[in-house]
Amino acid sequence: MAGIYLDHAATTATLPEVVEVMKPYYTKDFFNPSSVYQPSQEVRKRINAVRETIADIIGALPEEIYFTSGGTEADNWAIQTATSNKRNQPVHIITSNIEHHAVGHSCKRFQQSGGQVTFLPVDGRGRIRVENLRQKIQKNTALISIMYANNEIGTIQPVDEIGILAQEYGIPFHTDAVQACGQIPINVRKSRIQMLSASAHKFGGPKGIGFLYVQKGIPLHNLLEGGGQEHGFRAGTENVPGIIGMGTALELAASKMGEKMKKETLLREHLMERIQKEIPFSRVNGHRWYRLPNNVNVSFRFVNSESLLILLDMEQIYASGGSACNSGSTKPSHVMKAIHVPDEYQNGTLRMTLGEENTMQEIDEVVNKLKIIIEELRKESPEYEDFQRKQLL
């Protein structure tokens, strides 16, 4: 691909090794894994082997892994499971006010239907306070759903502490780990996580496939009625090539995670340092240290992110203004509002998410281009012109 790709939080390229392992399941090994004859049962064995691979990487059991169409479905399934397990009782859910819409909108819909939802605030760096979470727990709290790492600002939540608290009160803990899985180490047993959502295309796998981990003993809501796939909880013929590809992608991600994290952290620090030193009226959003290795979210004053992205695109630099799910919106995101980014900075937000193929040379080129583009945009800004005039008075 020509250009510099800095939108890995939106999606990653499917790795060549993943494409190769998927190919046979479109052609010679195309069999339906639910059929009884030998070739189909071989496909079934391969699917079960992927469950074992995923389970081993995240510290789960194979029978606790359920395949889905992606992170959004997995998030919705987790919320539906919690709200359907106690249908005859008032149910309370605790989540945060910076969740991905797959969780946030699901909780709001539940609230509109009569359920109780507490949306925890976060601090200025995007982290919840565990003591605040403790104070919001009620006798009818049926689920705590707090994302592992935020998709816009990269802030990592105190997952282990949340898990300890949830276990203390006997409340299932779900985490949307779509941005974290395959990027940083995860162990569901160690962190006392009962449900976890993930999506393959965030870590080098194909689109349209993900998984939901559900700890044994958690009563699972039937998502789709029909056949007996996914232990009878999610009917429909399995996406065999996608499942195979996801297993290989996660295995590859786990094998090189340490090296990848180290490289991306160096690039991230260099990018943030140069922006803060060389571009005035800029601010980095999110936590300084509890942060995904590849995430840089920065806001510029006197700049509109839409114009900024267009001009970067013309330079073949591909980034985003926030979550890819909100790409059609020109309004500041709920995350920017939640962490109290000043109004004069919110409209100039840029998210750059790095990948292992990015280089230091590319990062320097991006900053050099950013400096020129931002200077040009500010020349056309009435607010900037007015600001400069006031400075001279």
The reply to whether 325 belongs to the active site is yes
Low-confidence ranges of the chain (pLDDT < 50): 327-328
pLDDT at 285: 98
> Strand 92-96 and strand 141-145: pairing?
parallel
Instruction: Provide the residue ranges of all domains of the chain, joining segments of one domain with +.
Output: 4-10+257-392, 16-255
Contact status, residue 93 vs residue 145, Cβ threshold 8 Å: yes
- Buried/exposed code over 225-245 (b: 16+ C-beta within 10 A; e: otherwise): eeeebbeebbeeebbbbbbbb
Which residues make beta-bridge pairs with 214? 195
- Give the end-to-end CA distance of the chain in Å, rounded to a whole number: 50
CB 140 within 8 A of CB 92: yes
Do the domains 16-255 and 4-10+257-392 match in fold?
no
The sign one gets for the Cα dihedral 271, 305, 155, 328 is negative
CA dist 54 and 64 (Å) reads 10
Q: Which of 164, 235, 325, 367 is catalytic?
A: 325
What integer pLDDT is reported at residue 221 of this predicted model?
A: 87
**Residue found by looking up tokens 């496909």 in the block:** 43
Classify domain 4-10+257-392 by CATH number: 3.90.1150.10
Q: Which two tokens stand for residue 97?
A: 């006010």
| The two structure tokens encoding residue 196 | 């976890």
Alpha helix ranges (H) inside 157-256: 159-169, 240-255
Give the Cα-Cα-Cα angle 345, 346, 347 (nearest 5 degrees). 95
Convert the pLDDT of each residue in 352-392 to its tens digit: 999 999 999 999 999 999 999 999 999 999 898 888 888 87
Q: Does domain 16-255 have CATH number 3.40.640.10?
A: yes
Q: From CA 333, how far away is CA 271, in angstroms rounded?
A: 23
pLDDT value, residue 324 = 53
